[in-house]
Amino acid sequence: MKITLNGEATEIIATTLDAAVDELGYTGKIVATAVNGDFVAREARGETMLVEGDRLEVVAPLQGG
Amino acid sequence: MSDPVTFYDTAVESRLLLGTALYPSPAIMAEAIKASGAEIVTVSLRREAAGGGAGQAFWDLVRSLDVRVLPNTAGCHTVKEAVTTAHMAREVFGTPWIKLEVIGEDDTLQPDLFGLVEAARILSDDGFDVFPYTTEDLVAAERLVHAGCRVLMPWGAPIGSGLGLANHTGLKRMRAHFPEATLVVDAGIGLPSHAAAAMEMGYDAVLLNTAVAKAGDPAAMAGAMAGAVTAGRAGYLADPMEAREMAAPSTPVMGKAFLS
């Protein structure tokens, strides 16, 4: 299905957020997620279903002021 | 002499908080942090490309420096964005601390004080220790304190401007009005003298980034800022004299030879 990953149209097979994070290559990385603007905690990713058109944000640590 | 500053329930010795952005290289950033003696550095969150690893490398470097991190919500323009970012930061960095920025105007990066107060209330109620990036506006500051903020971080001048303390009177008034809060001048510092001036007013700490990162020699400037913060704090504690308009001779007049 088509979702938006960090602003880019992306095709995924996974239907849960947990599986999508793995499929998209973030396995083992320190990242946080939000779906459609709402934070989804790491432990809730397995039960979070994704549907066509969802906006997924995946963020990681970066320099900041 | 130990003179710690307390951020919520955490006491640290260094009164200089340093940002981690804009350095010429990660190695120079690390050198500057060490030279500053800072025990708290600000960090951020940004989109990580699928399969990318920049964020992990940065985080590994910061963790090797043995400092506390203060994640920010930089770039957020709405309450929802800031609250979501704060939650993501708490999970990634493992800290309830959040430097809360809700930007209201793009040319000055002035905080949206209405959104800031609302976001601060939501996050404080949710167990965050909020460090709000605010202005010297006393009414907004009162609302932030009522929302649960025990730290207030008014700007010296717009972020990255290096202009120093644009409103001395307002900052002094804020210090006098909030004797109990931990007050940090955040943003606008360009020179060590600006940092010293904030500390001489009785501010508890200074947070800066660009002044060090964009200096020709960031590590040297970090050391200079640390010295200025220490000197300013010592001057404040020493109870400065009152300024006056006219001269007052420092050399005793009594006993002066009559030579005319």
Q: At which residue do the structure tokens 């404040």 appear?
A: B236
Cα-Cα-Cα-Cα dihedral sign, residues B233, B63, B73, B158: positive
Minimal-distance CA residue of chain A relative to B69: A64
A43 in contact with chain B, both atoms CB, cutoff 8 A: no
CB–CB of A31 and B55 under 8 A? yes
In B, which residues are within 8 Å of A31 by CB distance? Answer: 48, 55, 92
Q: Which residues of B are catalytic?
A: 99
CB–CB of A58 and B50 under 8 A? yes
pTM: 0.94
Low-confidence ranges of chain B (pLDDT < 50): none
> Rg of chain A's alpha carbons, rounded to an integer?
11
CB–CB of B87 and A37 under 8 A? no
> B111-140, pLDDT tens digit by residue?
999 999 999 999 999 999 999 999 999 999
Task: Name the residue among B165, B166, B160, B164 with its Cα closest to residue B210.
Answer: B160
B203 in contact with chain A, both atoms CB, cutoff 8 A: no
**What is the ipTM metric for this complex?**
0.95
Task: Name the residue among A38, A58, A36, A64 with its Cα closest to residue B100.
Answer: A64
> A6-62, pLDDT tens digit by residue?
999 999 999 999 999 999 999 989 999 999 999 999 999 999 999 999 999 999 999
Which residue in the set B21, B45, B62 is minimally distant from A60, CB to CB? B45
CB–CB of B81 and A31 under 8 A? no
CA atoms of B141 and B17, how far apart (whole Å):
21
Query: Does the pLDDT at position A1 exceed 90?
Result: yes
CB–CB of B84 and A38 under 8 A? yes
Which residue in the set A33, A37, A60 is minimally distant from B55, CB to CB? A60
- For B:9-68, CB contacts with A below 8 A are 19-23, 29, 42-56, 58-59, 62
In A, which residues are within 8 Å of B126 by CB distance? Answer: none
Q: H/E element holding B200?
A: helix B192-200
